[in-house]
Copies of this chain bind each other. A is one copy, B any other.
């Protein structure tokens, strides 16, 4: 029997640098790798969506739509893939359905192929319209399960969720493990369960981060259970809060009943390219190498540091243990949302408030909205007393409908807003950019003509910095008014 071919999604161009160095990688640091990436034999290339759109206009003065077109041009043989937060698109609120349609249509038109659609609460109603929109433009609609752990989450629930996604017309199912919580055995059980329930030809893509150090094993067990495609990052952009190394996956499968068709020579070129690039972004990089704390606390690293800085700002840095103990209670009260943007911030901030001011003495506006159903439904019931309190505080009613059903058509208004902006180029793409980031786009439109910025540091400087001695006493040549003197300088203490 010839081994089963396992597809690989390379995430170097999107999630790898999003996870490793705050999405700061400049397009010019990617283009030279694209030919090799295009020809290495990947199932798809994740290169857009997630936080890249925001980072482009906020930090890099780069048009994200142009980035997408450039990728399309540089990688004509590949499926390009993006991450899309359902009804939120790439922004931080729900958009009305026609905006969702328009965004998907324009993304497809500019070169996107595979749309990985997810919702932070796993509420299928928040995915539905985006999935339909992808189907309408003949894109690949990948329905996503956000993996989390709670007393209510179990293998059966995830299998059922996969069924809902397939009912929406999902071309494939993504099992997305954003916090590196997915252990080998549950991965095996979920993948096997989906295959056995919905048919062995149900395509399953598995996405794991590497933070906890266990998830290459998770990918192995998922593959043994029948997973078809797995996500990895080229080794020089791998590990830590990022992903498992692509080359390690390839080598891991040797001699098993599985194989990849990746071209190792191309992988080496890609690796060597990003090996030179990564040090440029060192200042943005997290120091975390491996962290299994999240298995115990259920609190992702980013959420923890958020809560710590909130406490420190209140001079209560010593109460972090109380807050960590409060998080699971708040999460239970809210019906056990997965802890991922934005629910992680909402739950975390409320936990901080509860510790500092007493339980629910003050409810944040976002937590009230979460309790009232404005973010969608969670797996568990929300605490009825807290729902009442939220209604009273906000003068809003709890809802049970799909949140986006409350939104009126807004495309014309969004276009009008964009047209009022200096530097607006008249395209629907620009309308969408402003709709997604109305606080950032206007500034970007006025500076766009200056061209992209590279916020990385020159590698020579990085090297120099690393080798630089500590401020030891040093002798300078000092030139003042044409006269040069030798001056010895040393720290005064």
A400 surroundings in chain B (CB, below 8 A): none
Complexed CA–CA distance, A291 and B213 (Å) = 16
Please name the residue on chain B nearest to A465 by beta carbon.
Answer: B470
Query: Of the 9-residue stretches A22-30, A237-245, A336-344, A419-427, which lies at the interface with chain B?
Result: A237-245
Nearest-Cβ distance from residue A154 to partner chain B, whole angstroms? 11
Contact B481 A488 (CB under 8 A): no
A220 surroundings in chain B (CB, below 8 A): 184, 217, 220-221
Known contacts A290-B235, A468-B468; A212/B476 CB under 8 A: no
Q: Which of B213, B248, B256, B485 contacts A247 (CB under 8 A)?
A: B213
Interface assignment of A401: CB less than 8 Å from any CB of chain B: no
Contact A238 B183 (CB under 8 A): no
A480 surroundings in chain B (CB, below 8 A): 485-488
Complexed CA–CA distance, A293 and B272 (Å) = 11
Interface assignment of A478: CB less than 8 Å from any CB of chain B: yes
Q: Which of B213, B254, B461, B488 contacts A479 (CB under 8 A)?
A: B488
Interface residues of A in 320-340 (CB under 8 A from B): none
Interface assignment of A1: CB less than 8 Å from any CB of chain B: no
A213 surroundings in chain B (CB, below 8 A): 216, 235, 238-239, 244-245, 247-248
Q: Which of B183, B239, B255, B477 contacts A254 (CB under 8 A)?
A: B183
Please name the residue on chain B nearest to A293 by beta carbon.
Answer: B268
A478 surroundings in chain B (CB, below 8 A): 487-489
Complexed CA–CA distance, A485 and B213 (Å) = 55
Q: Which of B247, B252, B295, B461 contacts A251 (CB under 8 A)?
A: B295
A235 surroundings in chain B (CB, below 8 A): 213, 289-292
Interface assignment of A264: CB less than 8 Å from any CB of chain B: yes
A450-471: CB near B (< 8 Å → 1, else 0) gives 0000000000010011001111
Interface residues of A in 221-248 (CB under 8 A from B): 221, 235, 238-239, 244-245, 247-248
Chain A contact residue count (CB 8 A cutoff): 58
Contact A252 B464 (CB under 8 A): no
Complexed CA–CA distance, A164 and B234 (Å) = 41
Nearest-Cβ distance from residue A396 to partner chain B, whole angstroms? 41
Interface centre among A244, A247, A248, A256 (most CB of B within 10 A): A248
A217 surroundings in chain B (CB, below 8 A): 216-217, 220, 252
Known contacts A475-B492, A492-B476; A183/B251 CB under 8 A: yes
Interface assignment of A185: CB less than 8 Å from any CB of chain B: yes
Interface assignment of A303: CB less than 8 Å from any CB of chain B: no
Nearest-Cβ distance from residue A377 to partner chain B, whole angstroms? 28
Known contacts A468-B470, A474-B471, A477-B492; A290/B245 CB under 8 A: yes
Contact A251 B481 (CB under 8 A): no
Q: Which of B256, B289, B481 contacts A238 (CB under 8 A)?
A: B289
Q: Which of B248, B255, B293 contacts A212 (CB under 8 A)?
A: B248
Please name the residue on chain B nearest to A279 by beta carbon.
Answer: B287
Interface assignment of A186: CB less than 8 Å from any CB of chain B: yes
A491 surroundings in chain B (CB, below 8 A): 474, 476
Please name the residue on chain B nearest to A255 by beta carbon.
Answer: B185
Contact A461 B470 (CB under 8 A): yes
Interface centre among A214, A254, A256, A296 (most CB of B within 10 A): A214
> Given A464-B470, A465-B468, 7 other A-B contacts at CB below 8 A?
A186-B255, A212-B251, A213-B238, A235-B289, A239-B239, A251-B292, A461-B470
Q: Can you list 23 contacts pairing A with B, beta carbon distance less than 8 Å?
A: A183-B254, A189-B255, A213-B216, A213-B235, A213-B238, A213-B248, A214-B248, A217-B217, A217-B220, A217-B252, A238-B289, A247-B292, A250-B292, A268-B293, A464-B470, A468-B468, A468-B470, A474-B492, A476-B491, A478-B487, A479-B487, A480-B488, A481-B485
Name the 6 nearest CB pairs between A and B, nearest first: A213-B248, A185-B255, A247-B292, A214-B252, A477-B492, A214-B248
